[in-house]
Structure 1
């Protein structure tokens, strides 16, 4: 098994906001002294004949089971779809039963993040339901504590359940408060991975 020296930042993004959060979570991971491995998942299609290429045309590589198995911690991100994660991310997680059977993710820290068009568009239910498969895998869920000052002042995205972005009707860019919370989440996740890893040795 590979040395568990990286945090997997695994996301699905259609319009770029969730990817932007992922990239800033990765920055926070690296600021805490760990490697961040950014990965995405392919879209799912109603057309049974559609097959995505093994390597995407642009952006980050598709995640493999090995990326997930060998990580020291996981940040999982998806846009909000009717108060839940996108089908593409759910499809990927549904294929991880072998990792569940082997207990590969037990006691590793995990965090979740999301983006939605509206302020009350189901961000918190999305974050909470994204935690459920991670709990089944035995992962240790890490939220965002209120010691992060931006969490007390944000008027857009950001929750104690995880970093988030509110695009609004105009599809606005991720703002600095949301990015700061994403970086804070990455730092916390990496710090916890280092602490849990040292206790396991």
Structure 2
């Protein structure tokens, strides 16, 4: 077993899911680039380590990375969480504003190319059963956007499965007690022998 195989086998379930979707996106978009004078390809950054802390650190960056390293900066298009099957994509206006604030210059990616990249990714992730949401664009005034309600699947906290499991056990115990009580009452009344 090689070192790469050992690394993959040591990953937790959530980290393995993240690595798998990263690999799928790399393969799907391997021959496709986006951009103007600087061509970029879509990439989902995989986790650096073997664990995501039980899924609490499972978000992965969705990037448009330059074909040639060092040619330009990567552009963050959004994020995804493979274990929860949710992703959020950023609108071009937010990406442009962030780039101008950070680098002091206009972004070197035409809006139509950015939209083509994010739309292609949106379609692909939807086919992979991801729920896609879109970030609220940054207002021109620079103010933070109003908080918005995410779709229901994106709202489920990481601890929700444990909460649902304890609720389920409580309902099972309650149903058993009610069933036992009804049977006991029917025996006392002589309905069943």
Give TM-score, length-normalised by structure 1: 0.29
Say which structure, 1 or 2, has more relative contact order (CA 8 Å, 6+ apart). 1
Which one has the largest radius of gyration? 2
Give TM-score, length-normalised by structure 2: 0.30
